[in-house]
Structure 1
Amino acid sequence: SDIPLPDYNPEKAISILKDAGWEDTNNNGTVDKVIEGNRMELSIDLLASPSENSKNICLLVQSSAASGGVKINPVFKELRTIVGEHLVPRNFEMYALAWSQQVGDYDPKQLWHSESDTPSGRNWSGFNVPECDAVIDQLRETIEQNERIPLYHKWQEMVVEAQPYIFLAAPQERIAVNKKFEARVSAKKPGIAENLFEVRRVGNTISEQ
């Protein structure tokens, strides 16, 4: 479904922060506020893996947030450390991760149901919307595909409206395969079933192309 996405509006962000008492009183580019007698700058640690893609994402977020007066501090750690020391115990301010789709229909419960907001669950954002829980439960109990699709759309609309995650991109990749092979597409990375490759036959002979 064509779900409207939030507008990128730094001016509105600055206005919302100002209404909450955050302003750049010392003109250093970062908004600040007096909290319990101490002037605090709005600074957020962003956890990410040390990969090149993650570093580029951090630069993008850092630049966008700076336009609203928010300082982003990238903190690079290995994924296992991020999950074990920060996400599981909910000890973080912000994190950047990538998710990949597995074979078959997507089950949102793992990331988006309140029952998964536990140390052993993966609802690390703490997303807790009873109406969304109900849609996910119904989706898991519905078999007919024509009935499941509207439920997926409804669930997506709730997530987009709440914005527990900032979705940046859903990348697509092109895969080139030599025409002498018969390749089978797979939903799993790298997008082809490598163990099912076959040499293409032309008539009764194996292709030499």
Structure 2
Amino acid sequence: MKVKQVFSAYNFQARNSLCNRYCSACGEKCVKKEAGGRERDSCPSCGFVHYENPSPAVSVLLVKDEKVLLGKRAHGSFKEGLWCLPCGFIEFDEDFLTAARREVQEETGLISEIESIISVMSNYLTPNLHTLVVVLVAHVIGGELCPGDDLDEVQWFSFSGVLPQMAFEADENIIARYWNTRIKGIPVDEDF
């Protein structure tokens, strides 16, 4: 199976840069200025450059008895009513492994042990939401299955069966790739 790690829900290459009208550092009105080979919103007063960077996130492939755990996204959440792997943003004060375990517990009620990293993906979801996602494989070591956070439902699905309508193309790809290749990935830091 061919590796795919860049997913786009729209033509991100044709998008216009967001406009930071005022500097987040000092409040002065921003101007467009070349910085790092691109035109960026910059502050003429304090020199602060507003870089647009993707948001770091994690996605966890929880595996048990030839099944994968998926969650149905809650009303009011991004892509509501569709299914996805347990996932979420990495908080500023946490590493990606801690974020993965936290997201699994918040969204599913389960305590997980991370086994490996199986991919890193870029997702261009909307003009204002680009993510860089570390994809991990994990297994359950405790807890009780119960939807939480931004999920209305959680359920185990057979790898060989039909999956529900998925929220993210990247999730469909990683599930199929894992099932077809049984990729082991690279080990994670067991001391963290």
Work out which structure has the larger RCO, using CA pairs closer than 8 Å and 6 or more positions apart in sequence: 2
Q: Give the greater-gyration-radius structure (CA).
A: 1
What TM-score do you get using the length of structure 2 for normalisation?
A: 0.31
Normalised to the residue count of structure 1, the TM-score between the two structures is 0.29
